[in-house]
Amino acid sequence: MLRPILGDFSSIICFKAAITGMEEALGEKATAIALTAAGRYRGKTLAQELDLANSSMSLEELADKLDYVFGKDGTRLCIVEKIVQEDNEVIKVHTSETLCSADEPQGSQRKCTYTLGAIWGVLEETFNQRLQGKHTECILRGGKYDVFEFTKLS
């Protein structure tokens, strides 16, 4: 535990205020880049802590592990619903209740930058593969999930 009285978790309200403040100070694009990079750093560190590097676990096992770590029993970043590989080059991660979408109105253009980055970092470490990630489907814009799509880079 990092804090003996308050514990290791803080409020979504405070995190979202930090995002908004960063957007006002740095602009939307610079904030998105910074939050994605911060998430990737967190994801890579987490994958190392969990000994996931070069893992041979199935995508279903990885989804369960990430849901445990990021979900209601973990940091509560998001629920990882499933991870699927559509072809040899594309991995899609379906999430819900993402930190970034919390309290956003329907139709909001908010992207899940930090959450995308965290999952991106875990996947790169787990598969020892450089990936390109993007937020392709959004609950805020009619999607059933927030979907993050990762394409292998050569």
Identify the CATH number of the domain in which residue 121 sits: 3.30.1380.20
Mean pLDDT, residues 16-24? 94
Between 120 and 103, whose confidence is greater? 120
pTM, entire model: 0.93
Query: In the predicted model, is pLDDT for residue 2 greater than 90?
Result: no
- 3-class secondary-structure state, position 135: strand
Please name the helix (run of DSSP H) or strand (run of DSSP E) that holds residue 84, with its range, or none.
strand 79-85
What contacts 24+ positions apart, CB below 8 Å, involve 45-51? 45/121, 46/118, 46/121, 46/122, 47/121, 47/122, 47/124, 47/125, 47/126, 48/125
Is residue 78 assigned to a domain?
A: yes
Q: How many domains does the chain have?
A: 1
Name which of 6-10, 28-32, 90-94, 104-108 the model is least confident about: 6-10
Does the residue 7 lie in any domain?
no
Domain range enclosing 40: 12-152
Mean pLDDT of the 39-47 span? 97
| pLDDT tens column, 61-103 | 999 999 999 999 999 999 999 999 998 889 999 999 999 899 8
What is the rounded CA–CA span in Å between residue 33 and residue 107?
Answer: 22
What number of H helices and E strands is found in the chain? 4, 4
Q: Is residue 124 part of a domain?
A: yes
In-domain check, residue 38 = yes
Could you tell me if residue 128 is inside a domain? yes
* The two three-digit tokens of residue 111, written as one number: 């992207």
The answer as to whether 112 is a domain residue is yes
| 123-137 pLDDT per residue, tens | 999 999 999 999 999
